[in-house]
Amino acid sequence: MAYLNLYLTTGQTLSKEDVVSTGLLFNKKFPVKWTDASMPTLENLLCNLVKYENKPVLYEQRAKPNVMARYNPMGLGHKKLIDKKSGVLWKLVAMKLIKQTMGVNPYFLKEDEALKTSEIKSTSGAIEFAKLLGITKEKIYEVEGTHHVILKKPRPSNTVVDYKDSKLTQYIEDLMSEYCNYLANTNIKVDGEKFTDIKLRRTFRDVDGDASFKYGGRSGGYWMELKEPKRERITLDQKKVVRLDYKSSQMNVIYAWKDNHNMLDEDQYSIQGYNRKLSKQMHIMMLNNSTSKKSTFAFMGWLQNPKNRKLYYLNKEFQKNPFNLFLLQKKIRQKHPTVAHLFYNPKVGLNVQFLESALIFEIAVQLCRRGIPALTVHDEIIVPRRDEDEAKMVMYSTYIDRKLYKALF
């Protein structure tokens, strides 16, 4: 599967007259009302269908503003694509040149329902239609632009922000380009389905409103959307995999940066007398909420979430034997006296995520340079089982470049 690629083109300009005359060869009811402004969107759509022939192409059906030029160099109109009355996509769907499957809105996701993105798929008619318009695989290329770095306003906003290129942003672009090029030549499958045209994009958050890069930085999509049981069944070049992660990742990132050393294999989350899962989550809440009271509310919201079945028995146990959550927070602060001042500052939590994601992608690229395919899922690395020992060695010998990345502490 692939995601709709706004960078694809053949460099030609379609005319609405050619589109209509060609379409009428396929169907006498082919729509004759087209606009010149919709032609670039149509050309890009056909390029995607041809490049990813017979493969699902994921896209966003929901209405949203056009993506700005940095991320949409050809200025393609989103409404011109998805509008059900006038959108080019739905005109081709009506002519049965495209197969379309609606996704599931994440806000209305049912408990047993998996997250699903809207998708389209080419037909033989679509490929022939594109060919008659001069769109073939040999002619398709990507225009230049920002491919891997996205800066957005703070959550929950999805509005993208423009920024000035820097050594850091160019480094991340180059790093991710190298990584995605390697993965493009890796056979990544799960249950017979192959991931293709991998274009990972890392989302950073403009929390300070100055278009700086200090917060966020994770990626998404592809295997990252799989639930854990299915993720276990991923194969890399026909090899079974193992999932590796750091013990107490976020707290160990803080200590590694503060004390200027590589990551340590030490459990920073365990508190004597408390369930480790509960203690771990409270650490995370204290790093991402501004007060102890807000941390407590966030913790209870997490524990009592009816959609998370894994927490059902843990929540039942807590209800039978409740304990003072403020006392737990006090014990956590006592466990970490040299960094306790970093708790209750949500900016620090996002900054730690920024440093953590930087480290994880550095590790993934280092492994690929050694010929070991590696996938990332937040703070997790997935590698072939046979490479587990070497992957662990790389994990604990790779460091965060202090000249490029900045911490708030």
User: Widest CA span of the chain, in angstroms?
Assistant: 76
Give the per-residue pLDDT at 281: 97
pLDDT on residue 65 = 83
Given a contact cutoff of 8 angstroms between Cβ atoms, the answer to whether 324 and 278 are in contact is no
Are 332 and 283 in contact, with CB atoms under 8 Å apart? yes
Query: What per-residue confidence (pLDDT) applies to 69?
Result: 86
Tokens of 161: 């922000």
pLDDT at 408: 95
- pLDDT tens digit at each of 409 positions of the chain: 678 999 999 999 999 999 999 999 989 999 999 999 999 999 999 999 999 999 899 998 988 888 888 889 999 999 999 999 999 999 999 999 999 999 877 666 666 667 788 999 999 999 999 999 999 999 999 998 778 999 999 988 878 899 999 999 999 999 999 999 999 999 999 999 899 878 899 999 999 999 999 999 999 888 998 988 999 999 999 999 999 999 999 999 999 999 999 999 999 999 999 999 999 999 999 999 999 999 999 999 999 998 788 898 999 999 999 999 999 999 999 999 999 999 999 999 999 999 999 999 999 999 999 999 999 999 999 999 999 999 999 999 999 999 999 999 9
Contact 165, 151 (CB under 8 A): no
Are 34 and 14 within 8 A, CB to CB? no
**HEC string of 360-379?**
HHHHHHHHHHCCCCCEEECC
Angle, to 10 degrees, between the axis of helix 292-303 and the axis of helix 312-320?
120
For residue 252, the model assigns a pLDDT of: 97
Nearest-angstrom CA–CA distance, 328 and 273: 10
Among 44, 13, 211, 214, which Cα is nearest to 141's?
44
State which amino acid sits at residue 370: R
Please give the Cα distance from 103 to 116 (Å, whole number): 5
Q: Are strands 8-9 and 141-142 parallel, antiparallel or unpaired?
A: antiparallel
